[in-house]
Amino acid sequence: MARRQAKIHSLYVTHDLRGQGIGARLLNQAQANQPHLELWTFQANTAARAFYALNGFVEDELTDGHGNDEKLPDVHMIWAKES
């Protein structure tokens, strides 16, 4: 996971290690240390979107990709610690 304060820049688990809870543990650690988190992922990455939703993130904004290097439609997702 690459993160700067509340912004997650990337979270990647190699394919052969997926499904073992590694990504969830990394995300849980970040959630324990921040009152809120945010990230962008591609709209087509349905597995990532489902993973983040399962971990309490909600979709905040959809774009046509004009603001990212790949020019692919993306989605901004946010998470906030419950009070």
Q: Domains of the chain by range and CATH?
A: 2-80 (3.40.630.30)
Largest Cα span, the chain: 37
Q: Which amino acid is at 9?
A: H
Extract the residue ranges of the chain whose pLDDT is less than 70: none
SS3 81: coil
Half-sphere exposure of 82 (CA within 13 A, CB side): 3
Q: What is the pLDDT of residue 83?
A: 73
Q: What is the pLDDT of residue 15?
A: 92
Six-digit token string for 63: 């774009």
Q: What is the pLDDT of residue 30?
A: 96
Q: Supply the pTM of this predicted model.
A: 0.92
CB 38 within 8 A of CB 75: no
